[in-house]
Structures are given as C-alpha cells and as structure tokens.
Amino acid sequence: WWNVMVAPVRNHAGEVYRIISVSRDITERMETQRALKASEAKLHLGVDVAGLALAELNFTSGTVHLTPAAARMYGFGESAVTVPRELFHSKCHPDDRKRLETNIAAAMDPYGKGWIGVDHRISFSGGAVRWLRVRAQVTCEDVGSERRPVRAMIVAMDITSEKHLEMELRGNEQRFRQLADSMPQLVWSARPDGFWDLHNQRWVEYTGLSLEDSKGTGWTIVVHPDDLQILHEKWILSLKTGQSYEVESRYRRHDGEYRWFLIRAVPVKAADGRIVRWFGTSTDIEENRRLGAALQLANDDLKHFVFSASHDLRSPLRTITIFSQLIQRNDTQLDENARKLLVGIEQTSIGMSDLLSNLLTYAEASESMNLTVAAPVDCQQVFERASAALAGVMKECNASITYDPLPVVWMSATHLDQVFQNLLGNALKYRKDDEPAQVNIAVLREDRHWRFSIRDNGIGIKREYQDQVFKLFTRLHASEGKYKGTGLGLAICRRIVEKYGGRIWVESEPGQGSTFHFKLPAEEMARGAASGR
Ligand code: ADP
C-alpha cells in the first residue's frame, strides 16, 4: 500500500512545468487497520454468541451509549441508542437500586478497583421483570490536578432463566428440608463423591452434633467404633457401583448411649444415568433388634421343648404299642370286645407317634433351614427314593405315576425328599374308591425357578379350603375315618418351599382331582432370598 501526493510546479506565467510526487509506503498502517477491524468483528461476534450486550457510559457528557443488543436488553428498542445516564439507571428494579448504587459508588472511587460485578433485576413497563448479570470497568483520567472517572464499559447478560432455575432449586431444597425434618428418621444426603452435606433436625437432636460438624465425614464420630469399618466399606462399594446402600450400625446418642440403626441410601440419577446425589435414612431399630433377640430366645426354647417332648413322648407310646400287642398275642382268655379295645389302643398310640414324628419334622424343617446350605440336587434321584418309600401303597391301589424329565434344583436333598413324599403320598392317599390313582408330575422353567405341578385324579378339595390345607393340623377328610394323617404334611411342604424363596398352592375341583403347584430355585439364590417368600 502506498500513499501518493502529487503537486504541480508553475512558472511565473502560471503554467505547470513540473510535477512533484511524494510516495509513502503505508502497508504497515493499512495492515494494522485491517487487523483492528477484524478483531473488532471477532469481539462483536463473541459478544453476540455469548448473549452479551455492551454499553459505554460517558461520565463527562452524562450519557450511555448502548449497542443494539444492549438497547434490546434494557428495553430501549431495537437499534443502538444514546440515553441520559439517569434514564439508564432508572431501569433498575426499585428493590435492587440501592445495592446497585452502592456498587457504582465504590467503582467510581478513582483509587479503587473501578470494577463492578452485580446481578440485579430490571423492570419493564407492564410489570415484566428480567434478571441481568452486569460487569463494568470504570476508567479514570487525570483532569488537571484531579483524577476523575471518565468512562465505564458495561457488559450485561440476561440470566432470568438461570435465576428462575436457581430459585426453583432453592425451593426444592427447602421442600426437601421440610420433608426431611418432618420425618421420624434421621435423614441425610450426600454428594456423588460421598461427601455428606445435609442432615435433618432429627439427626441434630439425636446425636447432639451441629449440622456443620456433621458434614463430610464429621458424622462418623457418632458411629460405634466396631461398626465403622463395615459401614465405610459398604459405602465405598455403593459409591463405586451405584448400588443402593444398606447397613446396620450403632449410633451414639447425645447422652452417650448407643442404639442400633438401619442405614439405607439410594442414588438419584440424572437423565443420562449419572448419579447426582445420594439420599439416605437411618431408622432406629433398637427395639426391633431387642424384640427379635427375645423372639429368637423364645423360639429356641419352643423348639427345644418340641424336640424333647416328642422324643420323650414317643418312647412311652412305643411301650404302650408293644404291651398291647403282647397282651393280644399271649392272653388267650381275652374276649372279642377286649381285643377290639386293645387294637384301638394300639392304633391310637401309633397315630400319636406319627403325629409326634411329623411335629418333629416340622420343627426340624424350620430349625435346620438357616443351617442348611443349598446345593444342586437331582430331582430324579430324590423322586425315585420317595416313590420307593411309597411302593407299598402304590401297589395296593394299582397306582401309576408319570412325569416330565426332572431337573436339578438348589436346596437340601432332605427337604426335597420331604416335599415329594408328602405330596405324592397325599395324591395316592386321597384317591377315589373306584378308580386307580393316576399321578402326573409336570415341570416348567419360570425365570429363576422350576415350577412343579403334581396332578392327581383323587377326591379333590373344595375351593374355600384350598388355602387352609397348608395350615398346621388342617384335615378336611378326618371325619371320614379312612384317611389316616396328622394334618402336618402340607404345612411342612409350605415351610420348606417358602424358605427357599418359592411358593406352593393348589388348584382343585371336588371329584375332579387336585394339582399342587410349587416353585423351587433353579439356581443358587443370593443369601437372604431363602429367608422370605
Ligand atoms: P394329612 O396328614 O391329613 O394328609 P396334609 O397336611 O398332608 O395332612 O393335608 C391336609 C389336608 O388336605 C388333608 O387332610 C386332606 O384333607 C387335604 N389334602 C391334601 N392333599 C390332598 C389331595 N391330593 N387331594 C385331596 N385332599 C388333599
């Protein structure tokens, strides 16, 4: 780039006889101007993209010049505008004006930082309100011996939606606090990194710790030293895996007494699956544990009683049976009536002995449940054993049993044997007089269980009794005399099946036969699954 200046040189007659030209290389100046324009354009683009608006305050003229974006933001129309300073400030919401003025006064101090950073509302005609985040830099110059503010560059951004969100969040947090404070439990929440940042009032009342002292890991001071490690390990595991947290631990009360708590927490996730917070409760279970321990003791006593009572009672019963048999065999003087009575005594004592033996099985089924480790059991083998034990009855009633291929289940073989023996035994026992017993065992895989269905063609069970037959000592056909039993077989089956997380039920029509369904685990169940339904 060149700047060229040309001047004519004239003679005394005024004629141009020469031309003088001076050329200057101005490439550098032009480049600088171009770069300046480009950077200004970039700045405007950046300001626009960032949703910022610019305004310049001139302290000397007392006016503010606003770019189109700023004019729009402050409600001065669509194009760039210069307005008196007072008019510009009058847009500020009355409730925020004092705060803004204090900030401006501080920024105008020629020896201060000259910087304002403030969020304030502006009000529009018609009552609309918007939130702005304003940053301004004041420039001072020396005028004579005085230093005075001359200009301020103002950058503003509309943060209305951010403020609304913030207020909503604050409202939510307040609602959460109210809810947490109204709960009888100790409620807490933690950040995704595991930092406990919030406890409810109940926590403060129980522990005597302040909210501030409970933050982070401060709360662990009330945990019983013996429980701290397991509590910590489980918490770290939950944070790592995002799985719910559950642990029992003792917390020290403000008066120094420790009580047992059940501590639970669930992760709260964002739409993308990220954990944003943990919410937890600690529930006082001291009373439950005390009652549980007392119940356990009472249960143990009861089991002990059942064991010894049935053992001790069975031996005199055996003696009664043997003596009555001996009398029948050896006493030739007995008349018919006396013999009948002796047979009655013998059968009653055998029935009593069966009842005791079933009671023992029932008690053992619950006693051994927690001690028995489930293992894979081949149902085919157990079925063969059970049907061998029933061979006599099968022959007597000309029975036939058909079955699907039998699978492997996860439980104790003894328990499976008891279930098969009771259900197959009943299917044969409650047969019709005029038909040979036919039994079928169907097997179906359902999720993590095998569902067995033992169908017979016997006398059936009325609908209203179909739940009751699983209760202790319920016998529907006892009055008919011919069906011997104790009313414990199905109760034993239910106890066993439910302890393995399964279910047992019956479908039946009187005169049409019955189908007993039950589900047993097809695979190893997690510990605890076997203790419930
Ligand atoms: P029981 O020792 O009397 O057989 P259970 O507990 O095994 O005791 O059965 C309870 C009652 O349920 C029986 O007395 C009988 O009335 C009825 N019951 C059980 N199984 C069958 C079946 N397959 N068909 C008809 N009734 C049955």
Closest approach atom of ligand 1 to CA 458: 24
Pocket test for ligand 1, best of 352, 353, 393, 426 (most atoms within 8 A of CB): 426
The mean per-residue pLDDT over the stretch 7-16 comes to 93
Mean pLDDT of 453-480: 92
**Residue 376: DSSP 8-state:** E
At 221 the pLDDT is: 95
What is the pLDDT at residue 370?
A: 53
What pLDDT is attached to residue 529?
A: 43
Q: Which protein residue has the closest C-alpha to ligand 1 atom 4?
A: 485
- The kind and range of the H/E element at 321 are helix 286-330
pLDDT at 310: 79
Name the DSSP class of 374.
P
pLDDT in tens, 282-326: 999 999 999 988 988 888 888 788 878 877 888 888 899 999 889
Nearest CA to ligand 1 atom 13: 475
Q: Which amino acid is at 106?
A: A
Q: Would you place residue 368 in the very low, low, confident or very high pLDDT band (cuts 50, 70, 90)? A: low
Residue with tokens 């604050």: 170
pLDDT number for residue 421: 93
pTM of the entire predicted model: 0.53
Percentage of the chain with pLDDT > 70?
A: 97
pLDDT of residue 526: 52
Task: Report whether 374 contacts 410 (CB < 8 A).
Answer: yes
Pocket, ligand 1, Cβ cutoff 6 A: 422, 426-427, 430, 456, 458-461, 469, 474-477, 485-491, 514
Q: Measured between alpha carbons, how far is 417 from 493 in angstroms, rounded to an integer?
A: 10
Res 132 pLDDT > 70: yes
Q: What is the DSSP letter of 110?
A: T
Distance 22 CA to ligand 1 centre (A): 126
Mean pLDDT of the chain, nearest integer: 90
pLDDT in tens, 196-243: 998 999 999 999 999 999 999 999 999 999 999 999 999 999 999 999
Least confident of 27-31, 376-380, 394-398: 394-398
Asked if residue 477 has pLDDT above 50, the reply is: yes
Q: Give the position, in ligand 1's atom list, of the atom nearest the Cα of 492.
A: 6
**pLDDT score for 366:** 66
Q: Which residues have a Cβ under 8 Å from the Cβ of 138 and sit 6 or more positions away? A: 107, 108, 114, 115, 116, 149, 151, 152
CA 81 – ligand 1 centroid, Å: 97
Residue 487 CA: nearest ligand 1 atom is 8
- Ligand 1 centroid to Cα of residue 504, in Å, is 14
For residue 380, report the distance from its CA to the centre of ligand 1, in Å: 24
Averaged pLDDT, 147-164: 92
Mutation pick for ligand 1 pocket among 475, 494, 512 (CB with most ligand atoms within 8 Å): 475
Distance (Å) from CA 474 to ligand 1 centroid: 8
> What residue's CA is closest to ligand 1, atom 16?
476
Closest CA to 217 of 201, 200, 236, 202: 236
Query: Which of 464, 469, 480 has most ligand 1 atoms within 8 Å of CB, for mutation?
Result: 469
Lowest model confidence (mean pLDDT) among 69-78, 124-133, 477-486: 477-486
pLDDT top residue among 513 and 318: 513
d(CA 186, CA 263) in angstroms, rounded, equals 9
Cβ atoms < 10 Å from Cβ of 510: 12
pLDDT at 177: 85
Q: Whose CA is nearest to atom 20 of ligand 1?
A: 426
Cα-only R_g, the chain:
46
CA of 476 to the centre of ligand 1 (A): 7
Residues 6 or more apart whose CB falls under 8 angstroms from that of 154 comprise 54, 55, 56, 57, 64, 70, 134, 135, 136
pLDDT band at 24 (very low <50, low <70, confident <90, very high): very high
- Nearest CA to 496 out of 374, 389, 402, 378 is that of 374
Q: How far is the CA of 467 from the centre of ligand 1 (A)?
A: 12
In angstroms, what is the span from residue 324 Cα to ligand 1's centroid? 30
User: Residue 28's pLDDT is what?
Assistant: 93
Token pair for 267? 């992760």
CA of 532 to the centre of ligand 1 (A): 25
d(CA 473, CA 471) in angstroms, rounded, equals 6
Tell me the CA–centroid distance for residue 454 and ligand 1, in Å. 13
pLDDT recorded at residue 531: 39
Site to probe by mutation for ligand 1, drawn from 430, 454, 493 as the one with most ligand atoms within 8 Å of Cβ, is 430
Q: Is the pLDDT of residue 476 over 50?
A: yes
Q: Is the pLDDT of residue 99 over 90?
A: yes
CA–CA–CA angle 71, 93, 119 (5° rounding)? 75
Q: What mean pLDDT is predicted for residues 261-285?
A: 92
* pLDDT computed for residue 532 by the predictor: 35
Q: How many residues does the chain have?
A: 533
- Ligand 1: atom nearest CA of 427 is 23
Ligand 1 atom nearest to 470, measured from its CA: 6
For residue 475, the CA-to-ligand 1 centroid distance in Å is 6
Is the distance from CB of 278 to CB of 266 less than 8 angstroms?
yes
The helix/strand count (H/E) of the chain reads as 14, 20
Tokens, residue 265: 């927490």
Per-residue pLDDT, 373: 66
